[in-house]
A and B are shown apart, each in its own frame.
Chain A
Amino acid sequence: EDKVVQSPLSLVVHEGDTVTLNCSYEVTNFRSLLWYKQEKKAPTFLFMLTSSGIEKKSGRLSSILDKKELFSILNITATQTGDSAVYLCAVSGNTGKLIFGQGTTLQVKP
């Protein structure tokens, strides 16, 4: 059965800290892994990863995929209160449907 497991489920840090969010998966015919940020509304796209070992970066956020070990990490450096959100990991196989993990709730305190 296809599944995605994220850890930790919740995290509380202070501004300026660095955090690492984890995502492990099992999916038939893996095609891509996506990270989204959700703040009380629609999931906002962050990254899509398809190849192992290639880091994707956007400002203070970065992500990498390991297709051999079936996991991905999302790093956020120098966290800000605006980073507080639920971070969702999702994978797709041959069909377009996304299978989501439970999400990691990040709270950044001033």
Chain B
Amino acid sequence: DSGVTQTPKHLITATGQRVTLRCSPRSGDLSVYWYQQSLDQGLQFLIQYYNGEERAKGNILERFSAQQFPDLHSELNLSSLELGDSALYFCASSVLAGGGDTQYFGPGTRLTVL
């Protein structure tokens, strides 16, 4: 158990819908990262927050957004869902904002869009 928690574990929804994925980082970690893992793309970085502020952005679609709250938990919002958004979404956390720090991954949320 990495100490990073994610809810829900599974989510099944229809195209065009909106969902929210939640992540709580390890105690003491200020940085939260979101990654998407699909069969054809592997693990891809989406976005990073550090102590409530957006720190770095990857190839995140405009339909996706995220935020980190004062208690440091983070939410990833996915809207106007398409079949291709079906994937595993992981949250990771670390103490520091920059590179050179270990990231610990949560158990993931498996999103299925029908």
Residues on A lying within 8 angstroms of B by beta carbon are 29-32, 34, 36, 41-45, 48, 50, 88, 90, 92-103
Contact = CB atoms under 8 A, between A and B. Distances in A.
Contacts of A101: 42
B102 A42 contact: no
Nearest to A95: B56
How large, as a class, is the contact surface on chain B? 20 to 34
B99 interface: yes
B43 A95 contact: no
Contacts of A93: 99
A31 B100 CA distance: 5
A90 to B, nearest CB: 8
A97 B43 contact: no
A45 B42 contact: no
A95 B98 contact: yes
Given A34-B102, A41-B107, A45-B2, 16 more contacts: A31-B100, A32-B101, A43-B105, A92-B98, A92-B100, A95-B98, A95-B99, A96-B98, A97-B45, A97-B56, A97-B58, A97-B99, A98-B35, A98-B92, A99-B45, A101-B42
Interface of B: 2, 31, 33, 35, 42-45, 48, 50, 55-56, 58, 90, 92, 94, 96-108
B93 to A, nearest CB: 10
B106 A42 contact: yes
A2 to B, nearest CB: 10
Contact of A31 (B33, B58, B98): B98
